[in-house]
Amino acid sequence: MGIGARIFPEVIYMSNTGEVTSDSLELSKMFHEIKNPLTFISSSLQLIEEEHPEVLDFRFWSQTMEDLKNLRNLVDELSTLQKGNTLNKTLINLFDFTEDLLESTAAYLLETGTPLTLECDCFDLDFYADETKLRQAVVNLLKNAAESSPAGSPITLRITADAQILRLEVSDQGCGISSENLRKIFEPFHTTKSYGTGLGLPIVKRIVDSHGGRLSINSKEGTGTTVGISLPLLQ
């Protein structure tokens, strides 16, 4: 398949750039107030575990620690979703961005045994974006692709650009997405997995929206999925 080819049914989500409101500021404060005690509880339990390793024999200890970790992840992802439309744009070099991106995902891909193929024809490109948020969006897509793929199945990150648009596409050879789930895929908390928060893709959509970009998803059951981010370069 050539770069940019479309062979699957496609759903496109156009952007609606958000604004910071008093409600969003209140939510940000609320997440902060929740996160602080969770961090304290987590640190305290880790200290107890270090000083009293016998607690590992406690029947519910491992499950308690896992539940606490999942709760912290949920709060972090809700906070990220809420802040997704607040940007700090800087001039980014695509080569440096890609290098940082690969470093951010290397350990996870190695742990899951997922080979990554990188295709890029524009490493010398400089563009404006919120580097931290854009990296998180692509990391979320790479992790989703790895989770959806059979063990050892490769995933592909394809980056292209023209005078107006930067495109980042992540493809997998996984199980694909049904048409029913495809319509709900970017709804918060919607997930077909037995784990996770269902916020990974909504976070990606919020970040892309805030950049004035476009998010597309092409999928066919039993074949695989391609999720594409298109960002305007002239801003």
pTM attached to this predicted model: 0.66
Least confident of 44-48, 82-86, 103-107: 82-86
Per the listing, tokens 């039993």 go with 222
Cα-flanking dihedrals φ and ψ of residue 160, to 5°?
Answer: -135, 165
Same domain, yes or no: 78 and 165: no
Same domain, yes or no: 76 and 146: no
SS3 for 80-99, per residue?
A: HHHHCCCCCCEEEEHHHHHH
Same domain, yes or no: 207 and 139: yes
Whether 57 is covered by a domain: the verdict is: yes
Q: Please write the tens of the pLDDT for every residue from 27-48.
A: 556 666 677 777 888 888 889 9
Q: Which domain holds residue 29?
A: 22-83
Whether 4 is covered by a domain: the verdict is: no
Would you list the DSSP string of 163-199?
A: SSEEEEEEEE-S----HHHHTTTTSTT--SSSSS-S-
Same domain, yes or no: 71 and 124: no
Same domain, yes or no: 63 and 171: no
In this prediction, residues 131-156 reach a mean pLDDT of 90
Domain boundary among the residues 36, 66, 83 is at 83
Which has the closest alpha carbon to 21: 13, 29, 11? 29
Same domain, yes or no: 119 and 158: yes
Same domain, yes or no: 74 and 146: no
Beta bridge partners of 205: none
Least confident of 9-18, 91-100, 205-214: 9-18
What is the domain-level CATH number for residue 136? 3.30.565.10
Would you list the DSSP string of 100-129?
A: HHHHHHHHHHHHHT--EEEEES-TT-EEEE
At 197, list the tokens.
Answer: 């928060």
Is a pLDDT exceeding 70 seen at residue 205? yes
Same domain, yes or no: 191 and 121: yes
Whether 213 is covered by a domain: the verdict is: yes
Which has the closest alpha carbon to 115: 141, 159, 158, 149? 149
> What gap in Å lies between CA 213 and CA 232, rounded to an integer?
6
- Contact between 120 and 98 (Cβ < 8 Å): yes
Cα-flanking dihedrals φ and ψ of residue 38, to 5°?
Answer: -65, -40
Residue 202: its pLDDT value, please?
83
In this prediction, residues 71-81 reach a mean pLDDT of 66
> What gap in Å lies between CA 208 and CA 212, rounded to an integer?
7
